[in-house]
DNA sequence: TACCAATCATTGGCATAGCAATTATAATCG
DNA sequence: CGATTATAATTGCTATGCCAATGATTGGTA
């Protein structure tokens, strides 16, 4: 019983892994709603909230690497749910929008993959929700302390070659 | 304005993604210790605790699909860190063991990535730690992930107690 | 004994995910 | 004005991760 703190930490590890596994497996379980995968649903959700969006913007909003988003967009486009348009002002930029079909899917699946989590969070009391929120912020602080500030997660500055204390590779 | 709760929930989503990305990217940040990825390190860690292990057992301990583990083992074997042996009693079974080289790596990377999280958690006050713990438990409850057996986590040091439902508040 | 169902590892296919390098375009500097 | 630099999206490569077969083996059963 003097190891109370250690036990709590062990529990945090366990639960963190559970949460990650759950969220991961959740969105990864191919073919969820309407033959869409989790990230695909997530993408059209983000697009429905803020479109048109440039690719890099979408990546930032999804906390994903741009190249990852390109693949997701390829699949959405081949399904006829999203469309890409070269920007007129800046020809480097590609604007992404939902098609009518894509919008229909968003409307038809209001909560999508995160629905369960969203519902659950909404069902919490104010105090419980605050606990969850604060707990996650502490975790983010810990993980971000030696790593990446959240907002810059995938900005170019962070994409450096990992030379921190690298024992000469390559 | 009911926006308060909604904003908090949105923040929870963001932070959850950040945490997952951090833990994920952490282990993925190519070639961390000795040119190994996170899952590879995790695998040899598990192997160092319970070897020889059959493939399906390893998969179970890592909460991964056997076919996923096969790929990881292929890469470990090609690096000369693990070895597969057809079982003598049951020819369907493949036993996996670490090589000397593999064992050396485990010894050389005691805490790896999770050590930093562990450090950070230990640096929290009792109240903060309790908030993190309770928040995660609420999340686990929502996600229904409680059914995922905890057992092995990242490192063996943190992996002990788990006495049934002991410290559970829930 | 010959068949049959269960088990185990593996393979192949698809999707996500990240980084490095490439291409195209824009902005800036000499 | 031309060359360099910076930015945006994409491609190529590697690695997870899941599922659905496949092949091999085992154990049980008619």
Each residue's pLDDT tens digit in chain A (170 positions)?
A: 555 666 777 777 767 777 776 666 655 555 556 778 888 888 898 899 887 899 999 998 888 889 999 999 999 999 999 999 999 999 999 999 999 999 988 887 655 435 567 777 777 888 888 888 888 888 877 765 433 333 322 222 222 222 222 222 22
Residue identified by tokens 């390829």 is A74
Pair A10, B158: CB distance under 8 Å: yes
Which residues does residue B53 pair with via DSSP β-bridges, in sequence order?
B96
- pLDDT-based confidence at residue B94 (cuts at 50, 70, 90): very high
Q: Is residue A142 part of a domain?
A: yes
Contact A18, B144 (CB under 8 A): no
Range of the structural domain that residue B92 is part of: 26-109
B105 with B133, same domain? Answer: no
Contacting residues of B for A116, CB less than 8 Å apart: 142-144
Residues 6+ apart with CB under 8 A from B16: A19, A23, A136, B139
Domain presence at residue A140: yes
* In a domain? residue A139: yes
pLDDT value of position A29: 53
Residue in the structure block whose two tokens are 């912020």? A137
Report the nearest residue to nucleotide D17, CA vs C1'.
B68
pLDDT at A167: 28
Counting the structural domains of chain B, the total is 2
Q: Are residues B76 and B140 in the same domain?
A: no
What pTM value is reported for the model? Answer: 0.69
C-alpha–C-alpha distance, residues A110 and A168, integer Å: 50
How high is the pLDDT of residue B149?
41
Q: Which residues of the protein are close to the nucleic strand C, CB under 7 angstroms?
A: A 27-28, 30, 37-40, 63-65, 67-68, 71-72, 75, 89-92, 154, 159, 161-162; B 21, 24-25, 28-30, 54-57, 66-67, 70-71, 73-74, 84, 90, 92-94
- Residues B32 and B103 occupy one common structural domain: yes
The CATH code of the domain that includes B53 is: 1.10.10.10
Structural domain includes residue A130: yes
pLDDT digits (tens, 9 = 90+) for B127-136: 888 888 888 8
């Amino acid at each position: 019983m003097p190891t109370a703190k250690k036990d709590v930490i062990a529990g945090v590890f366990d639960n963190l892994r559970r949460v990650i596994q759950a969220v991961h497996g959740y969105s990864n379980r191919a073919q969820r709603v309407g033959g869409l995968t989790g990230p695909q649903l997530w993408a059209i959700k983000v697009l429905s909230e803020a479109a048109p969006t440039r690719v890099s913007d979408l990546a930032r909003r999804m906390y994903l690497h741009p190249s990852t988003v390109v693949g997701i967009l390829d699949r959405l486009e081949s399904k006829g749910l999203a469309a890409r348009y070269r920007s007129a002002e800046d020809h480097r930029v590609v604007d992404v929008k939902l098609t009518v079909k894509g919008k229909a899917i968003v409307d038809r699946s209001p909560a999508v993959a995160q629905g369960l989590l969203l519902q659950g969070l909404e069902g919490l009391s104010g105090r419980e929700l605050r606990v969850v929120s604060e707990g996650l912020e502490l975790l983010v602080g810990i993980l971000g302390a030696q790593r990446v500030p959240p907002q810059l997660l995938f900005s170019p500055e962070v994409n450096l070659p990992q030379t921190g204390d690298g024992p000469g590779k390559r």
